[in-house]
């Protein structure tokens, strides 16, 4: 991977010897950090400073070089992935993808930033992922199952420590898409990115007591487990039904969250 020069010579810089290859050694303004990271990497990918197949620096390296949090880095990587510029292989790294042909199916992450758009995308997901779950039940490998199991275990462990549950949630759904053996299911999920997870909208707009938030997340993961169990026993009809129930419930939870927010109430009853 090529070393990258500083994009903004007037910005404060970190020690150049500490900046990893592929990262401009600058510290960003506190506002719009994820957006600035996306612009920085997008520019370098489009100018081929970062070429197809190049591996991006690790999250820790980007955090150190840009002086940002892990949350900011993950949000930026999610946007880059949703834009079809990079692809993340769990446990391996994030790699630059070949430029997409004009007219290829795309949904801009900025178009699903509002909860009303997440509801619309959930309708798409109900159709797409219901069939994805059925195909995964028929075609999954033991390796696919292990990847799904790891995502669910990560979700559960993060609930216990009040950590990030969005990433393992998305990973679980993406692993199901991969298990179909049809790369287009995985491609569409990758383009949608983690902003499709309704919780990202609920969390930003709603108030929920910590203990009830844990109950809410445990309820979500019980639905995940129903999907996983059906896929594990290779029961396509049950897998389709479990996925439809999960995503329909997700849609209804988001609708209730919207109504509660408009009424100025907390989201505590979403856990009940």
Structural domains in the chain?
16-96 (1.10.10.10), 109-266 (1.20.120.530)
Rounded Cα distance, 59 and 77, in Å = 9
Between 19-33, 80-94, 127-141, 163-177, the lowest mean confidence (pLDDT) is in 19-33
Tens-digit pLDDT profile for residues 73-86: 888 887 787 677 88
| Separation of alpha carbons 61 and 58, rounded Å | 5
Burial class (CB in 10 A: 0-12, 13-18, 19+), 142: exposed
d(CA 10, CA 226) in angstroms, rounded, equals 54
Q: Which of 90-104, 122-136, 249-263 has the highest average model confidence (pLDDT)?
A: 122-136
* 260 token code pair: 């509660």
Say if residue 15 is exposed, middle or buried (CB neighbours under 10 Å; 0-12, 13-18, 19+).
exposed
Q: Where are the beta strands (DSSP E) in 90-248?
A: 93-96
Alpha-carbon span 161 to 183, nearest angstrom? 34
Main-chain dihedrals φ then ψ at residue 94, nearest 5 degrees: -110, 130
pTM score of the predicted model: 0.58
> Comparing 44-58, 105-119, 199-213, which segment has the lowest mean pLDDT?
105-119
Give, to the nearest 10 degrees, the angle between helix 115-139 and helix 183-192: 160
Running DSSP on this structure, what letter comes out for residue 97? P
The overall average pLDDT reported for the chain is 77
- E strand intervals along the chain: 86-89, 93-96
Look up residue 244 and give its two tokens.
């439809």
């Amino acid at each position: 991977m090529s070393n990258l020069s500083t994009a903004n010579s007037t910005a404060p810089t970190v020690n150049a010897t500490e900046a990893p290859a592929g990262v401009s050694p600058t510290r960003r303004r506190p506002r719009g950090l994820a957006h600035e990271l996306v612009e920085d990497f997008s520019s370098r990918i489009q100018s081929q400073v970062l070429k197809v197949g190049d591996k991006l620096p690790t999250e820790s390296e980007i955090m150190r070089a840009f002086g940002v949090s892990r949350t900011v880095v993950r949000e930026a990587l999610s946007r880059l992935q949703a834009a079809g510029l990079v692809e993340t292989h769990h446990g391996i790294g994030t790699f630059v993808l070949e430029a997409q042909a004009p007219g290829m199916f795309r949904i801009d992450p900025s178009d699903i930033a509002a909860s009303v758009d997440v509801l619309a995308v959930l309708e798409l997901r109900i159709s797409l992922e219901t069939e994805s779950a059925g195909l995964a039940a028929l075609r999954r490998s033991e390796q696919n199952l292990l990847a799904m199991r790891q995502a669910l275990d990560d979700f559960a462990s993060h609930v216990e420590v009040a950590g990030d549950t969005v990433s393992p949630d998305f990973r679980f759904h993406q692993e199901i898409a991969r298990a179909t053996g049809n790369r287009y299911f995985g491609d569409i999920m990758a383009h949608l990115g983690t902003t499709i997870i309704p919780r990202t909208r609920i969390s930003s707009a709603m108030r929920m007591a910590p203990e009830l938030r844990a109950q809410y997340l445990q309820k979500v993961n019980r639905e995940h487990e129903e999907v996983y169990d059906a896929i594990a026993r290779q029961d396509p009809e049950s897998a389709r039904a479990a996925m439809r129930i999960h995503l329909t419930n997700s849609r209804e939870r988001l609708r209730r969250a919207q109504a509660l927010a408009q009424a100025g109430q907390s989201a505590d009853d979403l856990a009940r």
